[in-house]
Structure 1
Amino acid sequence: MNAVPVTILTGFLGAGKTTFLNYLIKKHPNTKFAIIENEFGEINIDSELVVKTDENIFELSNGCICCSINGDLFNLLNKLVTGRYKYDHLIIETTGIADPSAVAGTFLTDYNIQTAFKLDGTICLIDAENVLEVIANEEEAAKQVLFADYIIFNKCADVDQATLNKVAETISKINPLAESEFTNYAESKKAEILSLKAYDKEKPRLQLGLGAKSAQNIFGIGQEQSFHNIVSQSFVFDQSFDLLKLRHYFTVMLAIQGAWFYRIKGIINVEGISRRLIIQSVKGAPVFTEGAAWRDDETRQTKLVFIGKELKRDILERGIKQCFYKPANL
């Protein structure tokens, strides 16, 4: 059984999530979607499409399924797996004030769920005109933007180019992990919108501002990027790491100060291990997974991105360097 890809759809209230979802369904007529929403009724479904209901699961005449959580997400996922429902892709639409990392954590930390589902990425819909003001004043909205793997700036027709440029530059600095595009009516032009592979273990995407054709620094690795109290800190290390020290550092740090970190993502070079170690932070805890093997002809570098509130670079760097591998005779 192949794991079903999962897309988390988040975004500000009124940003166009419903419009985008309907656009996806129309653009992919041969894909049978299972759609989970926090509260049934937020997504407008034509009552004429509903052909069968089973408690909180609605089967539609176009072959898609729409579900309401109204309780435990795990139980609903189990029901989708054990039922006779046929679907190719799962979309989870969160409320306008939800933290998407809590939803993502279900798919990154539970082995049983990982056998049936594979998290592909988080898409965030935001109003291009108001995004900078909103994330500066609303923490939950900031979390959505900063956790996103792909950002759709919507409703751009009435926004001048100078503002759009400022928005793109600011967001790319504080969330260097995400790709983005400008749209109207949420009509994304990205062909692989349902195949972001943001959590692919073999080819983890960690941009860190590096161009595809060169290692030239685009947004400034090693430089603090900030917007109001939101800070992005990126690090690159050539030294290898001690796995036990590293696990201890991240576990303790997030247990004590997890509320200050919106997202951590990285590829780590661990001494004595031939494969990359991938780290993600989910719900205030580190999640480590094994990635692709290091090639003999490549430099084994560690790349880490921390995104959060008022993150101090010197404190982070000092803590990370304490996890460097040191031979026993030193």
Structure 2
Amino acid sequence: MAEAMSAKDDPLPVSVVTGYLGAGKTTLINRMLGDAHGQRIMVLVNDFGAIALDESLIESRDGDLIALANGCMCCQIGGDLYDAIDRILARRDSLDHLVIETSGVADPGKIGQIALAEQELQLRSIVTLIDAVNFMDTYSDPILSDTLLRQIRAAGVLLLTKTSLREPDQNAGLLLELAMLGDNAPIFTNEAELLARLLDPAIGEALPKRGSVTARAERLQIHSVPFESWNWQGEEIIARDRLLAFLGDEELGIYRAKGRLRLEDGNMITVHKVGKRIEISEGASDDGSNRLVCIGTRGRFDRDAMASAWQRALSGSQ
């Protein structure tokens, strides 16, 4: 890699965009390159042909590099990612942001590690796109599920795409599944809102680089959908009757919930709630921690009340 820092002393912000085939990476990349956001973005892609750039935007071509009229550029990785990054760093003074698009089956965490290891680069975030229409079918495939899980757990931010093709209740169920699979990464459903946050130098600094579970109970950030969410993870056990009372408390406004919990009788269970229906399955896998995610309608869902009620349920107090 390049040994000396660019004349522009600040490291180049890097965002990694990943997601399984068909999740919408190309659409997001094209929007990054075509919108008038005032940022000079370099997008590093596997194949120019896949992104179908608008010819009217292209100012010049030079081998593996395409320059656009708005100051953005697009570079094809070619044979070696490190070589491609070296070529990009040679142009540091004319760039504000580097976006690396991964293949649909790549491990984005490994690419993020490259940005973390290089002093000339600064990892802004790993963005994983989730296809709302096809995700559950793909995830149920035992061959593909490991790839999807790696992409979700590497993410600092999740973007749920194609939500307009599904009913709100279906989207709520998928948000619940993602909350259980991931590590509390903020979930966006609006592409424009995500890009505004990602590309704004001030806001982007605050975006998570990678997901991490640090809080025992916290808000799961869900943007641009009519839901609020509360998430708990811990080691405490709970009595079955107190769990049912908590989930059935209409004043809490819990519309959907999913959890993996150990009961006081020693059983490890999986619990689901949809509307007023609550289902408990015995014999859940034990990974050493209990977790519960609850979703309610925005405006009727009080996270502070949820946290207080849950602590009372755990302790057995009224």
Q: What is the deviation of 1:123?
A: 0.8
Rate the CA distance shift 1:312–1:84 in 2: closer, same or farther, 3 A. closer
Q: Report what 2:102 is aligned to.
A: 94
Alpha carbon RMSD of aligned pairs, Å? 3.1
Contact 2:20 2:104 in 1 (8 A): yes
CA distance in 1, matches of 2:207, 2:194: 17
Residue 14 of structure 1 aligns to a residue in which SS?
Answer: coil
Contact 2:36 2:70 in 1 (8 A): no
Where do residues 94-133 of structure 1 align in structure 2 (5 Å cutoff)? 94-109=102-117, 113-114=118-119, 116-133=120-137
The number of residue pairs the alignment matches comes to 219
Contact 1:209 1:221 in 2 (8 A): yes
- AA of the residue aligned to 1:34: M
Contact 2:125 2:207 in 1 (8 A): yes
Q: What is the deviation of 1:122?
A: 0.8
Rate the CA distance shift 1:205–1:25 in 2: closer, same or farther, 3 A. farther
- AA of the residue aligned to 1:153: L
CA distance in 1, matches of 2:260, 2:86: 37
Rate the CA distance shift 1:57–1:119 in 2: closer, same or farther, 3 A. same
CA distance in 2, matches of 1:8, 1:84: 18
Higher helix share goes to which structure? 2
Rate the CA distance shift 1:311–1:108 in 2: closer, same or farther, 3 A. farther
Please point out which of 33, 42, 58 is paired with 2:50.
Answer: 42
Q: What is the deviation of 1:23?
A: 2.6
Runs of 4+ in 1 over 6 A off after TM superposition: none
Q: What is the deviation of 1:205?
A: 7.0
Q: Report what 1:155 is aligned to.
A: 162
Contact 1:35 1:91 in 2 (8 A): yes
Q: Report what 2:69 is aligned to.
A: 61
Rate the CA distance shift 1:223–1:95 in 2: closer, same or farther, 3 A. farther
Contact 2:198 2:207 in 1 (8 A): no
Contact 1:177 1:208 in 2 (8 A): no
- Asked whether 1:221 is paired with 2:233, we answer yes
- Asked whether 1:313 is paired with 2:317, we answer no
CA distance in 2, matches of 1:132, 1:24: 28
When the two structures are superposed, what TM-score results if normalisation uses the length of structure 1?
A: 0.59
Q: What is the deviation of 1:85?
A: 6.0
- AA of the residue aligned to 1:221: Q
User: Which runs of 5 or more structure 2 residues have no equivalent in the other structure?
Assistant: 1-8, 220-228, 237-258, 262-284, 290-318
User: Which runs of 5 or more structure 1 residues have no equivalent in the other structure?
Assistant: 225-230, 234-309, 315-330
Q: Report what 2:41 is aligned to.
A: 33
Rate the CA distance shift 1:60–1:149 in 2: closer, same or farther, 3 A. same
Q: Report what 1:51 is aligned to.
A: 59
CA distance in 2, matches of 1:46, 1:37: 16
Q: Report what 1:211 is aligned to.
A: 218
- AA of the residue aligned to 2:197: E
Rate the CA distance shift 1:98–1:32 in 2: closer, same or farther, 3 A. same
Contact 1:177 1:207 in 2 (8 A): no
CA distance in 2, matches of 1:209, 1:65: 43
Q: Report what 1:306 is aligned to.
A: none
